[in-house]
Structure formats: C-alpha cells, structure tokens
C-alpha cells in the first residue's frame, strides 16, 4: 500500500525563531468499510477536514478563524491497532495538513493564510494513557502569509521528555470520526505566539490509493528501445507493483523491468492496485526517436521530410518546411470541414483563406476574414487582421522541433528508356526505371503497380495518367527532373505518390489526385488545379486564389512502416505439396517486441513476390513475439515474403509440413 509523498516546505524570505511546541491531539477514528470480507490491512487510510477553528494568540491578543481544508493520512500493519487499543501498536503518520485561508487580524498584523503540517512521515506508538494515547517527537511546520503576502514560518516539535495526550486512533466497525486538537507554540517577531487548531473530520477514514509519479527518459534508437519506466510508486510495505498499458490496447506489461517499445510517441497509463480496492492511474508519454539510421536493400534510398512536433501524417496533409501560403479565397478542406496544415517556417493566410488546426514555428500572418478553424500552434510572432478568426485560440506549446520525420523508401535512379505517348494514343509502363516521359494531348498512360523512376514527366493538356493500387499501397513515381502537370489522374481513390528530387519550382496547372513529396522544391497549385485531392509536403507550398485542396492524410501513402518492420523477421514454417503439382507455403514471423503489437501495411516493404500470389489471411497486423503460422499462399516454383529488409523464400524443397 502506498504512502502519500511528503510535501516540501518552501524556504520563507522571513523567518521567526521557533520554540518548543506543545501539541495536544484528541481524536477517535476508524477505517471505512471495505468492499470485501477480508480483514483490511491498516496501512494507508486518509480522513479529510473542511470545517473547524484556528485560534491564534499573539502577545495578549487573541483572534479566531475557520479551517478551510485538511487531511490526515495514517499507515499501520499492526493487528493490535483495532477496537479500543487495549495494547500498544505501531503506526505512521504519513501526513497531517490543516489549513485556513480566511484572513484575520491580530496585534496590528493581518494573516492571510495559516497552514499546520507535518515535516515528514513520523513513526510512533499508539498507547492507552488515561483514555487517550501518546506520540513523541512529531515535528511540524506552521507556515503562511501575513501583511500582504509576506511569508512567515516557524518550526515546532514536541518536547520528547514530556508525556502528552496527542493522538487517539480507533479502527472499529462503527466509529467513523476523527477529532484533532493541535496547539503549537513559537515566536513571531519576538512575541510569544500560539496557534491552536480544532477540527473534526467530515469524511471517514478511507483506503488511499497508491501514489504514482511516473517518468521515463526520451530514447533514441535505430529500431526498438528498452525503456526504463520509473513508476514513482511510494509504498509502505513495498508489496505493490505498477503496470503499464498503452492507450488503445497496443501493449501491456509490468514496469519492474525495461519495457521494449518501437520508434514512436507512446501514450501509456501507469497503474498500481493495492489489492484492497484502491487503484491509482497516471498518464505517461514516452518518446522513442529514430537515430536516423535505416536498413535498406540494395537499390533503395531514403527520402525524408520533417513535420512539427505534435503533428502526424494522418492529421496533416499540407505542410511546408519553409513557407506555407494560401492566397485569397483558397481553402484546405476535408469534405466541407477545414483541414489541418503545418509549417516549420512561416504561415500566411490571405483574406478569406481558411484552414483547420494550424502549426507554424515562424511568423504567422492572417488577413481580413481569414479563418483558422481550430487552435493555432504559434512558435513565432503573429500578425492578424482585426477580422481574422482563430477559433481554437493561440497555443504556445512549442518547441516544435526536432520534429516528426516522415520517411519514404524510393528506388535508386538508374537510366531507363524514354517514352512519348502521341496525342490520343495509349501506352503501359511496368514498374521500373524510365527516362523522359511525355504524354500528349488526350493521350493515356497506364502505370503498373509498384515503384517507378523517371528523369522527367510531362503531362500535356487533356492527358490521362492511370494508376492502380490503393491508399495503403500506392503507385510510387520518383522524378529526378522536371514535372509539368496539365493532365489528370484516373484511379478509384488517391493512389499516386510523386516524389520529386528537383529544386526547381513546380506548378500544378490541372487537378491531381494523389500526393506530392518535394522536400527541396516549391510547389504552387494554380487555379486550374482545383479541386486537388490528396496532399503536398514541400519546401514551400502556395495555393493560389480560389484553389480548393481536398486533404487526404499522407499516412495512407507515406508511413514509417520501415521503422516497425525492423523488429520483425519473416520465416517459412513449412511447405505442403498439392495434388495438382503446386505447393502451399505456411509463413510465420518473429518479433523482438514481447508486449507491443505492430502494423506494417501492405506495400513495397510488406509484400509477396512474385506479384499475383494470394494470401489466406491479411498480414498487416503483427502480434507480440510472433506467430508460427501467420498465413498461407499457393505457388508453383517459389514464393517470397518481403518484410522490411528481410525476405523468407519458400520452395518445393523447404521443410515439409507435418
């Protein structure tokens, strides 16, 4: 069972000499009923006070005021601390605090607050003495403010040689009261002063929950981190253990040893149950950051973009590293609702431009009737027109760096053949390396699902780019040179991810469904690009007048799955021969995370090869430790499961299934 953490006493700017204090308590109390029929251990109970009297004598004058609050916390495991205390028993006063915040005047001084409190947990012995009990050596502070806020304090301790009636605590089935009578003697400004507090509890003693003050260090790793969580658990007997659980049920375990967590921001709940009906719960945020390293296969490279801390790819579809600007009547929406935007530099909303929640680490400028339909997380100066609207108020919750790093694995650029689709013509390109691609007016180019590289892409007016895949497995096109967009995209949903290496300005002249990732380029959506459906991450982003961008979170296309996949290893469990000459492979996996499940969406780093293989079960969700039989797939020659930078390949000669 826990013990309330002692309160520290702030050093007063003005001190008065203390003297030996006379403490007089008169009390009876009992424990509150428990939920079950077990004999409750008396090792942490609390009574609270809200009524009572404070009497101060200073010199020859006396003044009185009312108690406005207080609490008494006791601990004992001594079975003799029951009934009428026919025998001595051991106990601990964890904390006694009695407070008055009603001002009163005496001897020309006005006291605004008076607080009587124990200095630290005090151990003692309860013992019958003419119907009461005694305690020795219990130190107190008397602190408060007087004369307009000037602090005063004196230290008081019972004379250990005296035998005073101090405290009477009774843990019985019917008594539900606690009476306290404290008299402390000291000096204030050289004048003898005494403070007497008389109070009756208006709540019975109740079992107090364990005390938790959890903390954990921020960690940096290339894959997973063993995080040591300090639950900050204070417990009299040391027999209570804390546990942790991640919000959403992503993981659960004990805090006794290191907790292995993947890269990410983890919202945990730390809990401790004393076994007697009292449960403590405290939130804890644990940050595990990437050290920037990432295992890549041959022929792969990494493209990164940084979002402000506090954002995520599923919340923010429009972001800039230098400057984000919406010109008059431009809007970022999801349906009819304003959508979030972010900038690690400046943010500018011209008159009547609208966005949702917004982040800006640099200067923010809002024109007349511009709307931020949510909080504005502002890290720099704000210049706002009188008619500008910030519906969620200004929030200064920075810093917003080092930021949330978005990582995309792209193929290494190698030379490929050029292609020109003549006006009205059609062509198909499988995934792979290409050179300069031109699609003429009314021409149609179909891209195979997978990853493409192009030296340039020019879509002329009326041209069509058809892509396959979906939001969780988009068609990725890395373009090292110029992008000239005057065409359109045909797909069931946004499924095109354009990764631009260029540092030149990029202008989007016609509607585009998909995402643009251009860490080193400025991207401008011209009026003809409206409505644009998808997202843009670039060095600078500009929406020209009247442009409407329908935001679709980049989390569907750009994920840190590669960081999760590093904790997983695919394995071929066994292979069965089928009567028709085919084989069925049973794939499993292992995870180095003992408590936390993972999600790695199907795509370039979680796929079956060759294309066309069908699995019997979805393989995007990964349990802690692993599974021996995650799914099956039927093949003729061989089947490979590519998971992160690891591959498991099944053939007819693999371990046969029993």
* Judgement on whether residues 131 and 167 belong to the same structural domain of the protein: yes
* Cα 444-448-449 angle, rounded to 5 deg: 135
Does 379 score more than 80 pLDDT?
Answer: yes
Kindly state the tokens that stand for 210.
């364990």
End residue of a domain, out of 290, 321, 345? 290
Contact 115, 98 (CB under 8 A): yes
Residue in the block written with tokens 């084989």: 583
* Judgement on whether residues 194 and 272 belong to the same structural domain of the protein: no
Contact 520, 304 (CB under 8 A): no
pTM: 0.51
Does any domain span residue 447? yes
Which residues, other chains included, contact 411 with Cβ-Cβ below 8 Å and sequence gap of 6+?
299, 300, 301, 433, 451, 452, 453, 478
pLDDT at 166: 39
Which residues, other chains included, contact 553 with Cβ-Cβ below 8 Å and sequence gap of 6+?
313, 314, 315, 316, 317, 535
Does any domain span residue 17? no
Q: Which domain holds residue 473?
A: 413-528
Alpha carbon 530 to its chain's center: 36
* Judgement on whether residues 450 and 513 belong to the same structural domain of the protein: yes
Q: Mean pLDDT across the stretch 541-545?
A: 97
* 3-state DSSP assignment of residue 561: helix
φ, ψ dihedrals at 561, nearest 5°:
-55, -30
Does any domain span residue 13? no
Does any domain span residue 535? no
Does 37 score more than 80 pLDDT?
Answer: no
Does any domain span residue 1? no
Calculate the alpha carbon distances from 231 to 5, 41, 249, 282, 323 in Å: 13, 23, 19, 9, 42
HEC letters along 229-276: CECCCEECCCCCCEEEEECCCCCEEECCCCEEEECEEEEEEEEEECCC
Q: How many CA atoms lie within 13 A of 529 on its CB side?
A: 28
* Judgement on whether residues 189 and 244 belong to the same structural domain of the protein: no
Does 86 score more than 70 pLDDT?
Answer: no
* Judgement on whether residues 115 and 203 belong to the same structural domain of the protein: yes
CA pseudo-torsion sign 591, 596, 600, 605:
negative
Q: Mean pLDDT across the stretch 65-87?
A: 63
Q: Where are the beta strands (DSSP E) in 250-340?
A: 252-254, 259-262, 264-273, 279-290, 300-307, 318-326, 331-334, 337-338
Q: What is the pLDDT of residues 449-478, one digit of tens each?
A: 888 999 999 999 999 999 987 666 788 899
Band of residue 177 on the pLDDT scale cut at 50, 70, 90: low
Percent of the chain residues topping a pLDDT of 90? 36
Contact 346, 362 (CB under 8 A): yes
Question: How far apart (Å, rounded) are the C-alpha atoms in residues 373 and 337?
Answer: 9
Greatest C-alpha distance within the chain: 110
Does any domain span residue 281? yes
* Judgement on whether residues 86 and 138 belong to the same structural domain of the protein: yes
Calculate the alpha carbon distances from 458 to 130, 463, 503, 509 in Å: 101, 10, 17, 12
Which residues, other chains included, contact 400 with Cβ-Cβ below 8 Å and sequence gap of 6+?
308, 309, 310, 344, 359, 361, 377, 379
pLDDT at 284: 86
User: Looking at per-residue confidence, does 57 or 90 come out higher?
Assistant: 57
Q: Which of 598, 576, 583, 577 is nearest to 636 (CA)?
A: 583
DSSP of 465-478: EEE-SBTTBPEEEE
Question: How far apart (Å, rounded) are the C-alpha atoms in residues 619 and 622?
Answer: 7
Q: Mean pLDDT across the stretch 547-561?
A: 69
* 3-state DSSP assignment of residue 528: helix
Does any domain span residue 274? yes
* Judgement on whether residues 434 and 361 belong to the same structural domain of the protein: no
Kindly state the tokens that stand for 16.
């008065």
* Judgement on whether residues 233 and 281 belong to the same structural domain of the protein: yes
Band of residue 84 on the pLDDT scale cut at 50, 70, 90: very low
φ, ψ dihedrals at 528, nearest 5°:
-70, -15
User: Looking at per-residue confidence, does 236 or 305 come out higher?
Assistant: 305
Question: How far apart (Å, rounded) are the C-alpha atoms in residues 589 and 646?
Answer: 11
Kindly state the tokens that stand for 411.
């193929």
Q: Mean pLDDT across the stretch 302-331?
A: 89
* Judgement on whether residues 275 and 312 belong to the same structural domain of the protein: no
End residue of a domain, out of 179, 207, 235? 207
Instruction: Give the dihedral of Cα atoms 525, 527, 530, 534; nearest 10 deg.
Output: 10
Give all strands of the β-sheet with 279-290 in edge-to-edge order: 219-221, 279-290, 264-273, 242-246, 252-254
* Judgement on whether residues 71 and 180 belong to the same structural domain of the protein: yes
Question: How far apart (Å, rounded) are the C-alpha atoms in residues 342 and 381?
Answer: 15
- The β-bridge partners of 182 are 197
Does 345 score more than 90 pLDDT?
Answer: yes
* Judgement on whether residues 311 and 165 belong to the same structural domain of the protein: no
If one counts the domains in the chain, the total is: 5
End residue of a domain, out of 172, 207, 242? 207
User: Looking at per-residue confidence, does 370 or 179 come out higher?
Assistant: 370
Q: Which of 254, 194, 197 is nearest to 229 (CA)?
A: 254
Calculate the alpha carbon distances from 476 to 403, 430, 453, 604 in Å: 25, 12, 8, 10
Q: How many CA atoms lie within 13 A of 118 on its CB side?
A: 19
Ranges 100-104, 149-153, 452-456, 619-623, most confident? 452-456
Q: What is the pLDDT of residues 413-438, one digit of tens each?
A: 889 999 999 999 999 999 899 999 99
Band of residue 355 on the pLDDT scale cut at 50, 70, 90: very high
Question: How far apart (Å, rounded) are the C-alpha atoms in residues 522 and 519?
Answer: 8
Question: How far apart (Å, rounded) are the C-alpha atoms in residues 597 and 618?
Answer: 15
pLDDT at 359: 95
* Judgement on whether residues 315 and 260 belong to the same structural domain of the protein: no
Kindly state the tokens that stand for 598.
């993972």
pLDDT at 138: 59
Does any domain span residue 603? yes
Does 293 score more than 70 pLDDT?
Answer: no
Pairing state between β 89-100 and 69-75: antiparallel
Ranges 41-45, 63-67, 191-195, 483-487, most confident? 483-487
Helix (H) or strand (E) holding 563: helix 561-565
Residue in the block written with tokens 């066309």: 612
Q: Which of 495, 534, 515 is nearest to 333 (CA)?
A: 534
Query: Mean pLDDT score of the chain, rounded to an integer?
Result: 77
């Amino acid at each position: 069972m826990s013990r309330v953490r002692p309160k520290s006493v702030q050093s007063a700017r003005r001190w008065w000499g203390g003297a030996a204090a006379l403490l007089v308590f008169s009390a009876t109390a009992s424990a509150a009923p428990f939920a079950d029929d077990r004999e409750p251990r008396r090792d942490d109970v609390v009574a609270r006070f809200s009524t009572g009297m404070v009497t101060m004598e200073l010199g020859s004058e006396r003044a009185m005021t009312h108690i406005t609050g207080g609490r008494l916390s006791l601990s004992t495991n001594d079975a003799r601390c029951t009934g009428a205390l026919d025998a001595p028993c051991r106990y601990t006063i964890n904390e006694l605090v009695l407070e008055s915040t009603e001002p009163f005047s005496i001897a020309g001084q006005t006291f605004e607050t008076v607080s009587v409190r124990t200095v630290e947990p005090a151990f003692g012995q309860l013992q019958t003495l003419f119907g009461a009990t005694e305690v020795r050596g219990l130190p107190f502070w008397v602190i408060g403010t007087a004369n307009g806020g000037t602090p005063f304090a004196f230290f008081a301790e019972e004379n250990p040689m005296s035998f005073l009636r101090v405290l009477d605590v009774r843990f019985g089935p019917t008594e539900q009261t606690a009476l306290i009578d404290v008299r402390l003697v000291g000096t204030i400004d050289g004048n003898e002063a005494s403070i007497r507090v008389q109070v009756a509890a208006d709540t019975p003693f109740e079992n107090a929950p364990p005390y938790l003050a959890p903390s954990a260090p921020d960690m940096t790793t290339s894959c997973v981190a063993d995080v040591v969580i300090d639950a900050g658990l204070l417990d009299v007997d040391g027999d209570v253990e804390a546990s942790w659980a991640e919000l959403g049920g992503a993981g659960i375990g004990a805090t006794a040893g290191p907790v292995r967590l993947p890269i990410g921001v983890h919202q945990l709940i730390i809990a401790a149950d004393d076994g007697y009906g009292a449960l403590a719960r405290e939130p804890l945020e644990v940050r595990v950051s990437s050290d920037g390293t990432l295992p890549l296969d041959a022929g792969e490279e990494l493209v990164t973009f940084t979002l402000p801390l506090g954002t995520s790819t599923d919340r923010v579809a429009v972001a800039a590293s230098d400057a984000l600007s919406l010109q008059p009547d431009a809007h970022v929406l999801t349906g009819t609702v304003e959508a979030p935007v972010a900038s690690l530099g400046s943010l500018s909303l011209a008159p009547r431009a609208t966005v949702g929640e917004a982040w800006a680490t640099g200067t923010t400028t809002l024109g007349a009737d511009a709307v931020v339909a949510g909080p504005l997380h502002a890290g720099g100066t704000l210049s706002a027109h009188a008619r500008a609207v910030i519906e969620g108020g200004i929030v200064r919750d920075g810093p917003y760096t080092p930021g949330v790093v978005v990582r995309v694995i792209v193929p290494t650029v190698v030379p490929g053949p050029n292609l020109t689709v003549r006006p009205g013509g059609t062509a198909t390109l499988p995934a792979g390396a290409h050179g300069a691609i031109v699609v003429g007016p009314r021409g149609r180019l179909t891209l195979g699902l997978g990853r493409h590289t192009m030296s340039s892409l020019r879509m002329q007016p009326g041209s069509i780019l058809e892509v396959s895949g979906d939001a969780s497995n988009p068609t990725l096109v890395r373009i090292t040179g110029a992008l000239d967009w005057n065409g359109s995209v045909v797909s069931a949903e946004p499924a095109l991810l354009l990764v631009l290496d260029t540092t030149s300005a990029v202008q989007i002249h016609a509607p585009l469904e998909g995402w643009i990732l251009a860490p080193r380029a400025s991207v401008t959506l011209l009026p003809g690009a409206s409505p644009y459906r998808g997202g843009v991450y670039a060095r600078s982003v500009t929406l020209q007048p009247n442009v409407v961008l329908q935001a679709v979170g980049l989390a569907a296309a750009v994920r840190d799955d590669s960081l999760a996949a590093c904790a997983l290893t695919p394995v071929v469990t066994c292979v069965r021969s089928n009567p028709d000459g085919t084989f069925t492979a049973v794939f499993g996996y292992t995870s180095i995370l003992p408590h936390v499940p993972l999600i790695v969406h199907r795509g370039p780093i979680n796929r079956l090869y060759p294309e066309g293989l069908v699995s019997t079960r979805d393989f995007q969700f990964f349990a802690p430790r692993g599974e021996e039989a995650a799914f099956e797939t039927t093949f003729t020659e061989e089947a490979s499961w590519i998971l992160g930078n690891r591959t498991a390949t099944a053939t007819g000669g693999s371990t046969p299934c029993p």
